[in-house]
Structure 1
Amino acid sequence: MKRKIEPTTVERSMREDDFIVSKTTAKGIITYGNPIFIEFSGYTEAELLGTQHNIVRHPDMPRAAFKLAWDTIESGREFFGYVKNMAKDGSFYWVFTHITPDFDRNKRIVGYTSVRRCPRRDAISKIEPVYRQMLAAEHAAGARDAIAAGTKVLLDLLQQTGMSYEELVFSL
């Protein structure tokens, strides 16, 4: 049985020149993690390889944010976003992520490559309240309707700003 990790308030900050790199199968199973991914996640390489990438998912992240990411990359497009991850010891670290699909010679998606870099603090301070609103809507809606409720919060924000999701992310 997998041990439940309790989130802490301890934040680990990426260094300016850090790049966290991981590769997964099309189903999100980790096939590669660079040394900085291993360092920040707190897991050994052996613990990471063969597990779902959501092993580093922080409970402060709304489910709707991951649905958007998956919908984007499964359609063959690249995804950019700010993500709060959780390490094995419960500490957290923010990243600016860029996920791209990996294609075989027949243009079928066979996996994904994610490169994460140090996010700007001012961008985190702007996206965190959005994620809190999305998460609150998800909790209020209940498990069955959570993703739709979180997505509505994000879509309402995009409509108010007149921006696409990508424009919002790059404006932060």
Structure 2
Amino acid sequence: MPHAGVHLTGRERSFSPDEIIVSKTDPQGRLTYVNDIFLEVAGYGEAELIGKPHSIIRHPAMPRTIFRRLWETVRAGQEIFAYVNNRAKNGDHYWVLAHVTPNMAPDGTIAGYHSNRRVPRRAVLGIIEPLYGRLAAAERAAGGGEAGMTAAALLLDGILDKEGVGYDEFVLGL
């Protein structure tokens, strides 16, 4: 369900399978670098993005529990792959398969994060979109916020347990 003030067009954007959207953030998730493909697909100028939270492109239909899992993983110093629906500046949306990794400083602390995003296969979206719809519904049914993310995480973990796979194995196996 859209948030107040968030304009959505219902139109999907895409980019070429041989292109990669790249961004870097500081440890708090504020953008420090975006490549030209990012700017083109998201419809922003570089000055509009640098220093802003990466969540500026968050689509309101995305289950928050996916972002919680992503942030918990990278803050623990591990990489993660995740399917993400993003929102362009004009309200269009675009799907990506994101690979997010922490950038380590010489002293072993996390200096920031690096994300490469590719075009997902259409067949995979036929699995991900209904799953994300179920997760978002679980979040809303539990009242949103922390309770909603926890309810959706339990639902996702139950699905993964039934399939006998972990999150990474599930995502990379699609």
Q: Distance in 2 between matches of 1:44 and 1:4?
A: 21
Q: Distance in 1 between matches of 2:172 and 2:144?
A: 30
Q: Secondary structure at the match of 1:21?
A: strand
Q: TM-score if structure 1 supplies the norm length?
A: 0.96
Runs of 5+ consecutive residues of structure 2 not aligned to the other structure: none
Q: Does residue 146 in structure 1 map to residue 148 in structure 2?
A: yes
Q: Distance in 2 between matches of 1:165 and 1:83?
A: 14
Q: TM-score if structure 2 supplies the norm length?
A: 0.95
Within-5 A mapping of 1:128-167: 128-144=129-145, 145-167=147-169
Q: Distance in 1 between matches of 2:74 and 2:156?
A: 18
Aligned to 2:123: 122
Aligned to 2:113: 112
- AA of the residue aligned to 2:67: F
CA contact (8 A) 1:18 1:117 kept: yes
- AA of the residue aligned to 2:168: E
Aligned to 1:48: 49
Aligned to 2:63: 62
Q: Secondary structure at the match of 1:55?
A: helix
Deviation by residue 1:57-102 (Cα, 9 ceiling, x = unmatched): 0011000000000000000000101100000000000001000000
Q: Distance in 2 between matches of 1:82 and 1:143?
A: 21
Instruction: Let me know the Cα RMSD of the aligned residues.
Output: 1.1
The offset of 1:130, in angstroms, is 0.8
- AA of the residue aligned to 2:100: I
Q: Distance in 2 between matches of 1:141 and 1:14?
A: 35
Q: Distance in 1 between matches of 2:66 and 2:15?
A: 22
How many pairs were matched up? Answer: 170
- AA of the residue aligned to 2:62: M
Q: Identity of paired residues, percent?
A: 45
The offset of 1:4, in angstroms, is 3.0
Aligned to 1:16: 17
Aligned to 2:5: 4
The offset of 1:170, in angstroms, is 1.1
- AA of the residue aligned to 2:160: L
Q: Distance in 1 between matches of 2:126 and 2:60?
A: 18
Q: Distance in 2 between matches of 1:128 and 1:56?
A: 18
Runs of 5+ consecutive residues of structure 1 not aligned to the other structure: none
Deviation by residue 1:1-57 (Cα, 9 ceiling, x = unmatched): xx9331121001121111000000010000000000011111110000010000000
Q: Distance in 2 between matches of 1:18 and 1:93?
A: 14
Aligned to 1:78: 79
